[in-house]
Amino acid sequence: MLNQAEIRAASDLIWQCWREGRRVPALPEEIRPATRAEGYAIQALLERRSARPLIGWKIAATSAAGQRHIGVDGPLAGRLLAEQVLPDGATISLGVNLMRVAEPEFAFRMARALPPRTASYTAQEVLDAVGALHVAIEVPDSRFNDFAKVGAAQLIADNACAHQWVLGPEVLADWRAMDLAAHRVIGTVTGTLHREGSGANVLGDPRIALTWIANELSQQGVTLAARQVVTTGTCMVPLEVAPGDTVGADFGLFGRMSLRFVA
């Protein structure tokens, strides 16, 4: 079991790699998390590095494609730091980004907090706490050379591969009355790549993913706070991108958004 000094050392290394754009094969054995709980303890210290309140949360690996991409068999929660959140239409430097993908996602903004408790939250309780739905695109990355081989505990410590995230418009349609699992999403990359997906790729339904993270955080003693946003994971096979590409995400009645990549 890692002690507090070892947890701090692991978090320091992850942060340094993130800020400097470098990678490591894995966390050194003496500070390597062995459990999801240790991974979350390391991740939690990243939040203290931000100068502003936490924007919200991301869920990694909510689709079969996402799980294959990072080598896990289930979802992981990560933090969205304010400095890494960009507006619709943003230009993003790929730099040393290793993953080089963009992921269209459904994102929920909370109106009411869901604090930790013994009993699991039901899907209805979680939905009742939601204030709005947004469309979004995540641009993930990892601080590990071979992120598909380090395992869930280290990926959680690595903030569930969080990197940059683009918040799109609020959905004005009556999304609560619609079938989010069946909702179709089209992703394009500079007119050369056309890919389709749907909410069913997000743990079967984005609302199921939202309920999952509410309970995952509760088990870790963490509150899903009012005004925080949860982006629920890619609804399609991640879109491969390169410098010069423009990515578009068309959510139909829910809205459209885009971003552009430069070197």
Confidence check: pLDDT of 157 > 80: yes
- CA distance linking residue 15 with residue 209, whole number of Å: 27
Based on C-alpha coordinates, what's the Rg of the chain?
Answer: 17
Domain boundaries, the chain: 53-262
- CA distance linking residue 24 with residue 143, whole number of Å: 7
pLDDT for 216 equals 98
Residues paired with residue 134 on neighbouring β-strands, in sequence order? 107, 170
| E-strand stretches of 140-223 | 164-170, 184-189, 193-198
- CA distance linking residue 189 with residue 198, whole number of Å: 17
Asked if 136 contacts 105 with a C-beta cutoff of 8 angstroms, the reply is yes
The tens digit of pLDDT for each residue in 92-135 reads: 999 999 999 999 999 999 999 999 999 999 999 999 999 999 99
Phi then psi for 128, rounded to 5 degrees?
A: -65, -20
The tens digit of pLDDT for each residue in 203-219 reads: 999 999 999 999 999 99
CATH code of domain 53-262 = 3.90.850.10
